[in-house]
A and B are shown apart, each in its own frame.
Chain A
Amino acid sequence: MPADPAVVSAAPETGIVLAPSGTPPHPLRAFWKHFAENRGAVASLGVVVALIVVAVLAPVFAPHDPYEQFRQFVLTPPAWVEGGSWDFVLGTDEVGRDILSRLIYGARYSLFIGFSVVAVSLVLGIVLGVTAAFFGGFYEIMVERLMDLIMSVPSLVLCIVIVAIIGPSLTNTIIAVTIVYLPRYVRLIRATAKAEKIKPYVTAARVIGASRFRVMFVTVLPNCLAPILVQAALGVSDAILEAAALGFLGLGAQPPTPEWGSMLASAREFILRAWWVVTFPGLAILITVLAINLLGDGLRDALDPKLKRS
């Protein structure tokens, strides 16, 4: 039984170039070889890892408490600008909070939102998608039409509607974004699972008497994972962006939570007078989303070499 057709199909090619001995390298190593070819992806992996480290160890890295208001230092410019101070490297915001510390703590929220949205929608997506593919019939139609319904409304608008109903908070932001991003996983998984389930190895598994559950989640699911992983990696950045947009509209994390989107929104009026208050949260969102997107691209190239060459 092939463990992962995508990776296996990649293995012989690397085998020709790098492993004349005839033994194909371990799939993970082959994957890394392909991934490492893309410099941008490797660099962005570095950025993402660094972000995760900073987020996890926020209390170590942050010079100040992100909620502490230094009333004497309201709107202090960044250190390298005239009037700035090295106490507040990226300056302070409109009530005197250290922007660097807020950005560092904000990384926690953004990454947490991104990953939890993807984790929840992956789990739900896998369950709904695989069951829809296998059970078929009315159930499949129901699931599909429900997903069509969600997709027919622009994502941000739907998010706003959901948050307006259940009330603005960090948890509800995650719920709203999860619902909005669910269809892409469900549809992807259902389509891949449908293509897999008619293949001979699945029939073989059935013939030896594997239970339906086993066929669904042990036999078929691992072979659908490659496109799902790519989609999930890209989904993280989409979720971060969507959450920032909600925060910007005042519907996401509530003040004084240092969420990047809401930091951007509360500082909007200073865009002409104190550029740093608006610029740094914006840059933080940009860099994070860009890095995760590049990482996702690299992942896709490595997992699906056919796509890369085309």
Chain B
Amino acid sequence: MTFATRLLAATILAAGLSTAANAKTLVYCSEGSPENFTPALNTTGTSFDAARPVYNQLVEFARGTTEVSPGLAESWTVSDDGLTITFKLRSGVKFHSTKEFTPSRDFNADDVLFSFNRQGDPNHPYHKISGGAYDYYNDMGMPDLIASLEKVDDLTIKMVLKEPNAPILANLAMDFGTIHSAEYADFLLKAGKPEEFDQVPVGTGPFSFVGYQKDAVIRYRAFPDHWAGAAPLDGLVFAITPDATARYAKLQKGECHVMFGPNPADLAAMKEDQNINLMSQPGLNIAYLSMNVEKPPFDKKEVRQAVNMAIDKAALIKDVYQGAGQAATNPIPPTIWSYNDAVQDYEYNPDKAKEMLAAAGVTTPMEVDLWYMPVQRPYNPNARRIAEMMQADLAKVGLNAKLVTYEWGEYRKRLQAGEHMLGQLGWTGDNGDPDNFFFLLGCAAAREGGQNLSKWCNKDFDDRLLQARKLTDKAERTKLYEEMQVIAKEEAPWVTIAHSVVYEPTRKEVKDYKISPFGRHEFYGVSIE
């Protein structure tokens, strides 16, 4: 080696070391692998979290709040009749580039049209790519709501609604409203590999996608040209760690800075830990047991009420949530407006439940199935344990439950198809509007494959749901929602289990991390000391 090459090598080495020392990379121990990186196709927080660093929406929730703030739309105006919303788009917004694709233009109205038409237009070239199921778009009733979406000029979009809709802006801030690059989509279509669109994401977000290994790691790099300014971090890594104990161990050792869902059993130790900052907030969520009304005997209201009475909810809260949750009475958490305090929950009364089952003509012992998620969720620390306890409770009234579970993606798909009798799931609100919870029991979502797992379609309930969407007066909406809570309790399509308290442990060196009321994990604006 000549002197010159040695010098060169040394310089490169030194340069490499110094960047490594200065590089601020935040590692987030996440709970599972995303299905893909297109939020419109997905329904889980796991997948949304993974796509969020890369993308923006027209309007966004300010981090850590439920406030709608401008995103890719700089401003918007709503017409007096509430039917037309005109968005003024931000100019000079850059898209990321990949190895193969370099954007030739900035963000404009075509990208907005692409992102929504893909979901709404069955003839769109991308509509059928990657399964083509747009659960959020459909379950939020968007196909029936949007009359037209037009490009006025490059930086103006006009959205016309069929009827006034109170939660529309909050809805657009949800993940299915993510704006993709139309140019990238065309590029991939020409290259003959449109599926890659959902696997290698290109967006306008604060971080650009670097790579993803299933069940192992997702890597992002800070995007220096981000429209709201570069992130204070240099890189972001999602270390996929399904086991909560392993996540905690990694956090303790400094292998990750922020972790998803701690074990309730570990909370006491986390509070003591000098290196860990344990943040908590009442969750905007509900864990429930859905009873499939298409499967007898759960088509009978009395049977569903009996199941409600057979389950010892207090024991679930005490032993599974271990105090980090409160028993749920209504389908919405008490922190959300329109919560009806007057609704009384069913008392725990196995004897009465037995009588009601007999009165409803159920011959006991009867075999039923009881599904539990294979993963921990923010609203449910251990679905299997809840299932085991419910199984014991149900056995006392003569319902012998067989416990069933599947891989997480498969599990939800089968529940949505209505294959279960009793199935656990839950919901974390994603826009702070009560409608965002109640739609889960609406008739639109009761279609096969929809998110109304009970397939329960009640006219009184659904009429009020649709009416409340059209109103803008909060008092009137509150009245309707309060009535809906009474109906939902009486008809009992769910056993409402609990609203959890969300805990988020971070390392002390993490600055400005905020718990999202929506259970999001957002890292733009977070820094490390």
Contacts and interface: CB of A to CB of B under 8 A. Distances in A.
A binds B: yes
Interface of A: 67-69, 71, 74, 94-96, 250, 254-256, 266, 268-273
A272 B312 contact: no
B403 A95 contact: no
Contact of B319 (A67, A74, A254, A269): A74
Nearest to B384: A255
A273 B315 CA distance: 19
B396 to A, nearest CB: 10
Interface of B: 243-245, 263, 265-266, 268-269, 312, 315, 318-319, 374, 382, 384-385, 387-389, 391-392, 395, 402-403, 405
Contacts of A270: 265
Given A71-B319, A74-B319, A255-B387, A269 B392 contact: no
Chain B interface main SS type: helix
Majority secondary structure, A binding face: loop
Chain B CB count within 10 A is highest, among A67, A96, A250, A256, for A256
A250 B385 CA distance: 13
Given A71-B319, A94-B319, A95-B319, A255 B245 contact: no
Contact of B385 (A95, A254, A272, A273): A95
Nearest to B402: A254
A74 B322 CA distance: 11
B384 A96 contact: no
A67 B403 contact: no
Contact of B403 (A254, A272, A273): A254
B403 A269 contact: no
Contacts of A254: 402-403
- Pick the 3 closest A-B CB pairs, nearest first: A269-B263, A69-B392, A71-B315
Contact of A96 (B319, B374, B387): B319
B265 A273 contact: yes
Given A67-B392, A255-B384, A256-B388, A269 B374 contact: no
A254 B319 CA distance: 21
Contact of B245 (A67, A94, A250, A269): A269
18 contacts: A67-B392, A69-B388, A71-B315, A94-B319, A94-B385, A95-B388, A95-B389, A95-B392, A250-B405, A254-B402, A254-B403, A256-B388, A256-B403, A266-B385, A268-B243, A268-B245, A269-B263, A272-B269
A269 B389 CA distance: 17
Given A95-B392, A255-B391, A256-B388, 17 more contacts: A74-B318, A74-B319, A94-B319, A95-B319, A95-B385, A96-B319, A250-B405, A254-B402, A256-B391, A256-B403, A269-B244, A269-B263, A269-B265, A270-B265, A272-B265, A272-B266, A273-B268
